[in-house]
Amino acid sequence: MELHAIRVFLTVAQEKSFSRAAEKLLRTQPAISLAVQRLETELGERLIDRSGKELLLTDAGKIVFEYARRFETLEGDLGNALAEMRDNSAGQLVIGANESTTLYMIQHIIQYRTLYPKVKVKVRRSLSSKIPAQLIDGDLELGVVSYDPNDDHLESSIIYTDHLAFVVSPQHRFAQRTEVSITELGMETFIAHNVLSPYRELVLREFQRRKVALNMDVEMPTVETIRILVQRNQGVAFLPKMCVEHEIEAGVLCEVKVPELTLERKIYLLQPARRALSHAARAFLEVIKSRTDKTSSKL
């Protein structure tokens, strides 16, 4: 079985198009179709249903697709291993993170790139809930999330402790206050993040427990859009402090304490428990450990 044919099939399945796969692989469409047909003949199974307008994988195609993804990961691992053998400071590092934890990693990545400029760093934005499975499957080397998945296949360590900050615009009536009670928030318009998280659930539960209305009249897909709307005094929000720290320091947002809602938000670094890490990943762990130790020593 030729790896070329598997790579072609994987590209066709990912692009859901023979023509787009041909463009991506710099081949003609007939050559792409022939490679897939040869693979189907060799395996004795039809992999793609060509009867409809939309390209669909057969049951056999779905199985081959999953193994093809593994082949692709192994091919990448092989390339990294050979690069590291030739140059101990080269290779590739693939990290999974969501929007807010990506912001946390910026300073770590800057330091890492200074020490290891030849390493190619890829940060893949993903839902936190999917990162553990992606690590176990080998799609990622490291993951940064805001919860402990409690999975025996993964090792987790706390690398940062953050908190949810209640933020308002400098023009808001609470801007000059140092703290407000949760009961005062019943008349406020909250700009909410429409991605489910344990912290969102904790906030909802506390408002319900205290029988205070939580008016989430606006829901946005990113922290950045929430931040902009709050700055423009279109509502208030609970956001991770690390995502609004610079805005608070610059005075374009104000943090007001809500004593009834003091929620710590721990950031965890995840790595596979039963798979050896590349040199690039081990070096990144050392960078994080060094910065974490320095931060701890200042406290």
Supply the CATH number for residue 46's domain: 1.10.10.10
pLDDT in tens, 163-180: 999 999 999 999 999 999
Is 294 a residue whose pLDDT tops 60? no
Is the domain of 106 the same as that of 182? no
pLDDT in tens, 101-130: 887 888 889 999 998 888 889 999 888 889
Is the domain of 141 the same as that of 276? yes
* Domain final position from 80, 113, 133: 80
What per-residue confidence (pLDDT) applies to 89? 64
pLDDT in tens, 126-136: 888 899 999 98
- Quick one: which H or E segment has residue 142? strand 142-145
Helices 3-15, 29-43: axis angle to 10 degrees equals: 110
Instruction: Classify residue 231 as exposed, middle or buried by CB count within 10 Å of its CB (0-12, 13-18, 19+).
Output: middle
Is 293 a residue whose pLDDT tops 70? no
Cross-strand bridge partners of residue 122: 94
Is 205 a residue whose pLDDT tops 80? yes
Residues in the chain: 299
Spatial distance between the Cα atoms of 32 and 185, rounded to a whole number of angstroms: 60
Nearest C-alpha neighbor of 185 from the set 252, 230, 238: 238
Which position has the token pair 């040869």?
Answer: 38
CATH number for 292? 3.40.190.10
0.85 surpassed by pTM: no
Q: By the 8 A CB rule, do 80 and 122 touch?
A: no
Strand (E) positions, 89-128? 91-97, 119-125
- Residue 195 is given by DSSP the state S
Is the domain of 180 the same as that of 154? no
% helix, strand, coil for the chain, step of 5 = 50, 20, 30
Q: By the 8 A CB rule, do 122 and 150 touch?
A: no
**In which domain, by residue range, is 148 found?**
87-160+266-298
